[in-house]
Amino acid sequence: MDEYIKKTTAFLENAAVAKSDPHSLEEACRHGQKQLENLKHERLIHLLVTLFFAEGVLVTLTLFLFLKMTLLLVIFALFLALLIPYVFHYYFLENTCRRWYGLLREIYERKAG
């Protein structure tokens, strides 16, 4: 995933600043838009998984506070251990998506102007 994001970001950055003919810019717009759609889908899936793990953290913590079962504390720790990397990965995907929006906007502006 990281390699895919690096390659696409480099492609969009190059298209945003390189001197290109309108046909190349149009192709860059189409390719960038398709890659952005793929990233948005990936971001949605990771949002849903992140929310699932956050719900697991809240439910197991609440049950532990009421039932005082040690097993629930272990499950809570597992959910929390998985939630933290998911939050960071979702943050990375969100920032990448916003970066690609900006690069595509620059490409569209170059194409129009």
Q: What is the pLDDT of residues 85-96, one digit of tens each?
A: 999 999 999 999
pLDDT score of 112 more than 90: no
Q: How far apart are CA 49 and CA 52, in angstroms?
A: 5
The predicted pLDDT at position 58 comes to 97
Q: State how far Cα 111 lies from the chain centre.
A: 27
- The residues spanned by each domain of the chain are 26-112
Query: What integer is the mean pLDDT of 10-30?
Result: 86
Query: What integer is the mean pLDDT of 20-39?
Result: 89
pLDDT score of 20 more than 80: no
Residue with tokens 């916003």: 98
pTM exceeding 0.85: yes
* Encoded tokens for 73: 């504390």
